[in-house]
Structure formats: structure tokens, C-alpha cells
Amino acid sequence: MITYQWEPLGKALREPNINDLLLAHWYELAVHKDDPRMQLDPDYELMYNAEKVGMFKVWTARDRAMNDLLVGYIAFWIRPHVHYKTVRTAVEDLFFMSPNYRKGLVGYKLWATVIPALKEHGVHRIVTHSKLHFEKDRGGLAKVFQRLGFEPMDMLYSRML
């Protein structure tokens, strides 16, 4: 049985498999991996400080049958939008589902359960993204997000200098 819940960042970062998940996530989805500046190096202090004031939250998926093994996560930056100050906006920073749990509805439920949880947290709008190379390789997540009520919004571009 998979459970979905908010967790303090510190709890997630103490998990025995967290480094494996973060490295798998980086390896699979990071852009510009060949640039030495783009090696995985999270600013946990910034995240902890933002979490203390309610501006950063982590939603997790755990497998109860496997001793509550952490199998997926979504991290959000939450604050009023800079252009719409009355619109509390959750901007997805990153999300990942362990490859062994990508069958069935586990990943879909990760998103489906966080939507009402964000609403309870006072969020009015969610902004997320999906990597284009993931779409090229595996068909992407557009249909999943649209099924959850998201609308396509922007295309992001990146260039290293």
C-alpha cells in the first residue's frame, strides 16, 4: 500500500535511499549534465529556511509494505505570485517517482493527492513542468497533467553561458 503525505524536508533527507533517488532523478532528468557546474548540489539551507516560513513543502509517496520506503516526492515553492499577489501559487521545483513504482496509478496518485492537500494549504494555483527529453523518450506527462486539470502554459528554454 502506498501512502501520500506532507513531510518535513529533514525527514525525507534522512531516508536511507534518498541519495539513490536524488542521483537517479538527476541522472535521468537533468539538462546540461556534461557541464561541471551542473552537478547535483542542492541548497538545503535555503529549502530549510523557506520551509520554516511555509514557502517550501515536500509531498512524498511511501510504500508501507516495504517499511515505509520513500518511493516518490514532489517539492513545491509556495508563495503569492509576483504578478498576482492575491494568488497563492505552488511552483513545483522537482518531482520523481522511483522507476519500480511507475506502473499502475502510483505516480498519478502522487499528483492527484497533492492537489487537494495544496488547496487545504491555501494554494490557489499550481505550476508544474515536464522535461521535453522525457517526452521524447517515453511519451511524456502531458496527458497525465491534462487529466488532472492542468492546462499547457509555457515552453521553457535553457542555455549555459
Which residue shows C-alpha cell 520506503? 69
Q: What is the DSSP letter of 136?
A: H
pLDDT band for position 12 (50/70/90)?
A: very high
Tell me the per-residue pLDDT of 40-94, one tens digit each, with 9 for 90 and over: 999 999 999 999 999 999 999 999 999 999 999 999 999 999 999 999 999 999 9
- How many Cβ atoms from other residues are within 10 Å of residue 37's Cβ? 7
Is there a contact between 6 and 59 (Cβ–Cβ < 8 Å)? yes
* 129 vs 118: which has the higher pLDDT: 118
Tell me the per-residue pLDDT of 127-158, one tens digit each, with 9 for 90 and over: 999 877 766 666 778 889 999 999 999 888 88
∠ at Cα 13 (12, 15), nearest 5°? 70
Q: Domain limits of the chain?
A: 2-147
83 three-state secondary structure: coil
Instruction: Give me the amino acid identity at 7.
Output: E
The three cell numbers of residue 125 are 494555483
Q: pTM for this structure?
A: 0.93
Is residue 80 within a helix (H) or strand (E), and if so which, with residue range?
strand 69-80
CATH number of 2-147: 3.40.630.30
Which residue shows C-alpha cell 518511493? 71
Q: Give the pLDDT score at 134.
A: 67
pLDDT band for position 29 (50/70/90)?
A: confident
88: Cα separation from own chain's centroid:
18
What is the average per-residue pLDDT within 86-112? 95
Cα–Cα dist 38/32, whole Å: 6
Instruction: Give me the amino acid identity at 135.
Output: E
